[in-house]
Structure 1
Amino acid sequence: MLALAAGLFSGGSVVAHAQTVGDWVLGNWQGAGYWYPGVVSKIGGGKITIRYDDGDKETVSISDVRPYDWMIGMKVECNYKNAGEWFPGKIASLAGEKIGIAYDDGDKETTRTGRCRTN
């Protein structure tokens, strides 16, 4: 699951390519402009099925997938204490799907990647 998808810069945007089943990627959930982490579970016909870290599943165009690139210090938004509101912060630690967040308002939380997103 920790295999990272290969990426390629093209025209200022990241385009994922050469994914295989099991690659950890970021998917543009329902084309809404937010990128959520998940694992490729199926590939075919220019489409990729992602099992998101929060348990949701979606089949998207390859253009709606990019390499998983989260790292310590990166800005994300997370669903603080799973209360339904998204708050900005930075990644303070990463260990698989376990993620430490230092929120912009000074709060800290250890949560799961499935409760975080980027835009």
Structure 2
Amino acid sequence: MFVLAAGLFSCGSAIAHAQTKGDWVLGNYKGAGYWFPGVVEKIGGGQITIRYDDGDRETVSVNDVRPYDWMIGMKVECNYKGQGEWYGGTIASLAGEKIGIAYDDGDKETTKTGRCRTQ
């Protein structure tokens, strides 16, 4: 079983096909090249509907979804204090939708995953 799962995560578009309703994923919101966390609400016909952690919803191609892979030490960009500006940082802690960020400029913040993204 482990070999099969590893194969699913290493095969381009097969990644998205491995997702099921309720899974936490990263979606390429509006095809802009940034990956935002959310939960799969619906799957069918080569499409996945995601409820992003910030509350937005979007139906996208299975190719615009990948497994949620954020972990401590990973580089992300976050909307610092919800002010609309995106700043680079590193995930310092992670518990569900609560995320601690150590920004590249030395600031620190605990925020929600819905305010963060990756490229």
The TM-score with structure 2 as length reference comes to 0.90
- Percentage of identical aligned residues: 81
- The residue identity in structure 2 corresponding to 1:8 is F
C-alpha displacement at 1:10, in angstroms? 3.1
How many Å separate the matches in 1 of 2:16 and 2:43?
13
Count of aligned pairs between the two proteins: 113
Alignment of 1:1-119 (within 5 A): 7-10=8-11, 15-119=15-119
C-alpha displacement at 1:20, in angstroms? 1.1
Higher helix share goes to which structure? 2
SS in 2 for 1:70: coil
Flag the 1:14–1:73 CA change in 2: closer, same or farther, 3 A. Answer: farther
C-alpha displacement at 1:14, in angstroms? 8.0
Higher strand share goes to which structure? 1
How many Å separate the matches in 2 of 1:80 and 1:14?
34
Q: Compute the RMSD of aligned alpha carbons.
A: 1.6
**1:8, 1:17 within 8 Å by CA — same for their partners in 2?**
no
List runs of 5+ in structure 2 lacking aligned partners: 1-5
Instruction: Choose 13-22 or 107-116, whichever is displaced more.
Output: 13-22
